[in-house]
Homo-oligomer: A and B are copies of this chain.
Amino acid sequence: MEGDPTLRLRVFDLNCWAIRYLSKRRQERIRLIGDRLCQEGFDLVLLQEVWSEQDYSDLKAKLGGCCPYSHYFRSGVIGSGLCIFSKFPILDTLLYQYSLNGYPYMLQHGDWFCGKSVGLAVINISGIVFNVYVTHLHAEYCREKDAYLPHRVVQAWELLQFIRHTAKAADVVLLGGDLNMHPQDVGIRLLRCWTGLRDAFTETKHFEGCEDGCTLIPNNCFTVNSELQPFPLGIRIDYILYKAGSGFTVRCEELQTTTGTAPGTDIPYSDHEAVMATLHIQRTGQAAGVTPSTAVPALVEVLSEARTEVRVGLQAARRQRYSSGRMALLALLLLLLQAAAALGALVGLAGGQPFPKLSFALLAFLALGVLLLATGLHLFHTIEVKMLQGTEEQMRMALGVLQERPGRS
């Protein structure tokens, strides 16, 4: 690579679906992933859903030869699941946890417990500063009635703001991850428009892999086919995006995806397909040779669309905050009534105990339980309202700045 004016970089991205006790044939697949990574010698490996630290350690041990530098991003109860392996030294890292990420009481979805985040690793390769981001956004469980869309839009906004603010001195920006958004979804358009990141799939010279670059395909034996019914080819939700800073160009020479079963075995690496990009990075020597910025009307349009989604979420969150608050108040009232009745019975005001003791105690405990639960919910939805309001305001401010300064990118 040295002495060559073009830097060739091979990047691997995969949502590994490695949830302890839940993911099928997890350890076997982690071994297969490690083997593939060792064989192919990627420069950068961005993984998601590596939720067992043991799996990370196993991969680290296996990749010690080809990718000796690595970082595991910790957050939430079970961890962000994000990690990065690199052939080149990682100089610095930073984790940004999204402020909204589903609901703790949606145990069957579980996103809340992962503390979904974006991880940044700063890597210097042959004197070029790379800001490498790896992320995983909230899953989409029902496309027709997606209750998590406002949260995902907030995450996309926070992701793009984090990238914009932290990548100002980077020569090359790379983002890999499971964005849980189809290419035309508002969140990814917002992200791409506002950061100038380019999609390796649409930019690549050569493509090899699943049709339309899909990364969740019906052919994969681990995918739930009923969820993919409206999309016979599958869907593309895993991405490698990139951007060149001032004085650099980045081209995607080749993009590949895995296509179901791993070579020589009967199982795929994961329920997602891996995305593998070969990027060519060149110094242009011209300080102003940056990516052309998106036109202001397009920025305004996509931001307005995203803002509408955030507002819809805000209305729903306000309703939930109100209902939970009302429920907590009712439970408190019931408890107070019971306390008054009990006190009355104690001081002999009433003619005797009006209820059987057991029912009375059970009712009091029920009321207490409801009070605690509803209060917890109320606090949670208060936070949700605050964060949605905050994002809505940031978006409004960004629109204002755009409209005042039509030349701004």
Interface residues of A (CB under 8 A from B): 71-77, 79, 89-97, 99, 113, 115, 120, 122, 161-162, 164-166, 168-169, 357-358, 361-362, 365, 369, 379, 382-383, 386-387, 389-390, 393-394, 397-398, 401, 404
Question: Quick one: which of B72, B77, B369, B386 contacts A75, CB cutoff 8 A?
Answer: B386
Is A397 in contact with B93, judged by CB distance below 8 angstroms?
yes
Distance between Cα atoms of A93 and B396 in the complex (Å): 11
From known contacts A94-B165, A97-B99, A361-B358, infer whether A79 and B401 are also in contact, taking CB-CB under 8 Å.
no
A89 — which chain B residues lie within 8 A by C-beta? 401, 404
Distance between Cα atoms of A97 and B95 in the complex (Å): 11
A401 — which chain B residues lie within 8 A by C-beta? 89, 91-92
A164 — which chain B residues lie within 8 A by C-beta? 92
Distance between Cα atoms of A358 and B362 in the complex (Å): 9
Is B358 in contact with A74, judged by CB distance below 8 angstroms?
no
The 6 A-B pairs of least Cβ separation, nearest first, read: A168-B169, A74-B390, A365-B365, A165-B166, A74-B386, A358-B358
Distance between Cα atoms of A365 and B164 in the complex (Å): 51
Q: Which residue of B is nearest A382, CB measured?
A: B77
Enumerate 20 A-B pairs (CB-CB under 8 Å) in ascending A order: A71-B393, A71-B397, A73-B390, A74-B386, A74-B387, A76-B383, A77-B382, A77-B383, A89-B404, A92-B161, A92-B164, A92-B398, A92-B401, A95-B99, A97-B97, A120-B165, A165-B166, A168-B168, A168-B169, A169-B169
